[in-house]
Chains A and B, each alone.
With several copies, the nearest count.
Chain A
Amino acid sequence: MKSRKDLWSLYSEKVMEHFQNPRNVGEMQSPDGIGHAGNPVCGDIMELYIKVKDDIIIDAKFKTFGCGAAIATSSILTEMVKGKTIEEAMKISNKAVAEALDGLPPIKMHCSVLAEEALGLAIEDYLAKSKRK
């Protein structure tokens, strides 16, 4: 038997690590922004919650229904945004998410797109809410 690493030609070690030990799982009490992306038809649903203070994302959490890549991208995304300003966070592209995971297989790149989308929506939500305030 070869090692698992050889076998998992599908995913990088980093993806598998995040998939197995996802960071920041769960809902957030009174988040400042929520982003929903995906839908049941495509089989991936992401919910991203952010807490913002002084224009800086101080906390992020997620809930995801989806494949291994969807869970791993959600997990790493929450790590990537923490500590970033809203402006910085808005610049996080799906490619950056994929790269942070040491790459995704081509057929899974849509998961990183979903993550980018969820983040954009969460920020939008935050901005809309803060305007209203």
Chain B
Amino acid sequence: MRRIYLDYAATTPTHPLVLKAMLPWFTDGFGNPASIHSFGQEAKGAIEEAREKVARLIGAKSEEIVFTSSGTEADNFAIKGVAYAKEHKGKHIITTAIEHHAVIEPCKFLEKRGFKVTYLPVDKDGLVDPRHVKKAITDETILISVMHANNEIGTIEPIKEIARIANDRGICFHTDAVQTVGHLPVDVDELKVDLVSISAHKFCGPKGVGALYIRKGTKIVPFMHGGEQEHGRRASTQNVPGIVGFGKACELAQKEMGQEKVRLQTLRDKLISGILDRIDDVRLNGHPTQRLPNNVNISLEFVEGESMLLNLDLVGIAASTGSACSSSVLEASHVLLALGLPHELAHSSLRLTLGQETTEKDIDYVLEKLPQIVKKLRVMSPLYKPGKK
């Protein structure tokens, strides 16, 4: 059976060239970068080369890049690290209602430990209003964290404007750029951000590697305590093959990003308009234009998300939904609810995220199969009263 992967926002396949770059570092160049001997120095050379590649992709200096084990770790590090470094100045953090859990949960953890967190609302397209940020700032505010682009609905936030507000007030600014780095140009100096979270597996790098960009001079307490690796900012033996692969993925992204963006945008728009043409009672979630080039998020009324996913999977299409049945309590996506969607619509969402291997034929196939599936499920749905609308 044909298998079409349209869940690139969840994770991507490792690029063959990335894997190739990694291979020597498992067996031959297996040294510990902290070791003085040549096995160690060789490995150290490899991770420093990778660090330069990561830095180059975002216009940073290589000593501003700290390798982590993931985007989640980078977010935890940024949020908790700044909170602990600055708590004597104040205990107020500003973030948004649509952040990834990797930002929201560290904030909740800090709330239990005496910090105050403001979760800013977004408009119906998922945009954060910079004026809201400005208004939320108090003398106690030590950190503002707003994601660069949302992983569910693809909305790209006005980071530059928000960072300027933070800078004007001398407040540290973090952005979770896990969904943009490697896909869209990100320049830390143009955006004027202090901290940026990155994850390799979101752009054809390996899983289990990420980075936190830390602008020189930013005060931050380590998250992972132990050895002196990463100049004392992140303990633990570095994941050499993973880091090398991450570097390679950055190098490839830098070369291919521009063209790929245009290609994906075209496919994305074909998919969106195709669905809207073929299926009634569909709503596009997220901003119509200010959105990730590969993101389609729609609510298909009267149909629950997981049942759509299963049916899509049965015809070989891998997608995602904001109806999370993964925990013991069914919860609709906090992002979709923040847009003002009623629960039914939040549970009816379908996310299709395109990538490297997506072709026009894949889009045609989805446009053939999805209407059939929706129709089948709507017949089954107690919410669907045809003709009523």
Contacts and interface: CB of A to CB of B under 8 A. Distances in A.
Interface of A: 2, 4, 6-10, 16, 19-20, 22, 25-26, 36, 40-47, 63-71, 106-108, 110
A43 B45 contact: no
Interface residues on B, range: 20 to 34
Nearest to A15: B310
15 contacts: A2-B45, A7-B42, A8-B38, A9-B44, A19-B307, A25-B380, A43-B325, A43-B332, A44-B304, A46-B382, A64-B380, A65-B383, A66-B306, A67-B307, A107-B326
Given A7-B45, A65-B302, A71 B380 contact: yes
Contacts of B325: 43, 67, 69, 107-108
Interface string B341-365: 0111001000000000000000000
B259 interface: no
Contacts of A19: 307, 310
Nearest to A26: B379
Contact of B36 (A10, A20, A66, A106): A10
| Interface secondary structure of A, over-half rule | mixed
Contact of B382 (A6, A65, A68): A65
B265 to A, nearest CB: 31
Interface of B: 36, 38, 41-42, 44-45, 48, 302-307, 310, 314, 323, 325-332, 342-344, 347, 379-383
A46 B383 CA distance: 10
B310 to A, nearest CB: 5
Nearest to B38: A7
Given A2-B42, A40-B347, A66-B304, A22 B382 contact: no
B323 A43 contact: yes
A7 to B, nearest CB: 4
A16 B303 CA distance: 18
Given A9-B41, A40-B342, A42-B330, A64 B381 contact: yes
